Amino acid sequence: MRRSPLLIATVLTLALGLAACEGEADLDVDASPEATVTEATTGTETVTATETETVTAEPTDPQATPSPDGDVSELAFTDCDADRYTIGYPADWNTNEPDDLTDACRVFHPGEIETPDQPQDRPLHWAASVYIDAVEYERATEGDGPNEELSSEELTVDGRRAHVREYRSTGDALVPEGERSYRYVVDLDGEILVIVTYSIGDTDYERDKAVLDRMVTEELSIRR
């Protein structure tokens, strides 16, 4: 039988199309290590679905959070013996060497202690200053002149009357305007023991207040 050229061309076209489809079906699926390939057959079609793997990073151990300013409960303290008292202070701080103007255990500071040129500047720049003043306790309770009083509390220290007050300076004395001070005063029967810190200088005022609280309420012993 003589076949029509048109029929022959149509058959060849269909054959080539089927071959092309079979070639595509034989192709390998290039799945990355992070993907999972799933094949599902529905009727005569094969559907390939790729699920992307979600990788969750393991959380790293958080770094130790520094203690906030004011928390000195874990600090190691050491003692300093003066003539009339023993007082504890942070073990990694420094204390002054006695000289012609300053007795032992009067200055405590985390950095180097350099003697100021003017004696009246001695208490201002250190983390903690301790000194005895020939003032009656009752007079010392009258306040601190024109400075603004921020807080005041009465307490007992080693069996003696005491108070602690915080001030903001008005600038009318040695302390510049706006600077704060935090001061304990302890009755020594005709004299007072003063333990004070200022917001002046290269130091941490809030930390130093907390250190003073511990120095006075837990680490102070008065002999006479």
Please report, for the domain that includes residue 137, its CATH number: 3.40.1000
Q: What average pLDDT does this structure show over 104-111? A: 93
Please tell me whether the overall predicted TM-score, pTM, comes out greater than 0.85 for this model: no
Number of domains in the chain: 1
In a domain, 157, yes or no: yes
In a domain, 57, yes or no: no
**Closest-CA residue to 194 (of 145, 121, 134):** 134
Strands 220-222 and 192-198: unpaired
CA pair distance 207, 215, nearest whole angstrom: 12
In a domain, 148, yes or no: yes
Contact at 8 Å (CB) between 110 and 203? yes
In a domain, 89, yes or no: yes
Q: Given this model, what pLDDT does residue 203 score? A: 81
In a domain, 27, yes or no: no
Residue 43 clears pLDDT 80, i.e. is over it: no
Neighbours of 72 (CB within 10 A): 18
Task: Give the distance from CA 6 to its chain's centroid.
Answer: 89
Q: Given this model, what pLDDT does residue 145 score? A: 76
Q: What percentage of the chain has pLDDT greater than the value 90? A: 48
Residue 158 clears pLDDT 90, i.e. is over it: yes
In a domain, 143, yes or no: yes
Can you list the pairs that 79-84 forms with residues at least 24 positions away whose Cβ atoms lie under 8 Å?
Answer: 79/219, 80/104, 80/105, 80/108, 81/105, 82/106, 82/130, 84/132, 84/188, 84/193, 84/222, 84/223, 84/224
Range of the domain at 171: 77-222
Higher pLDDT among residues 160 and 54, named by residue: 160
Q: Given this model, what pLDDT does residue 174 score? A: 82
Higher pLDDT among residues 111 and 142, named by residue: 111
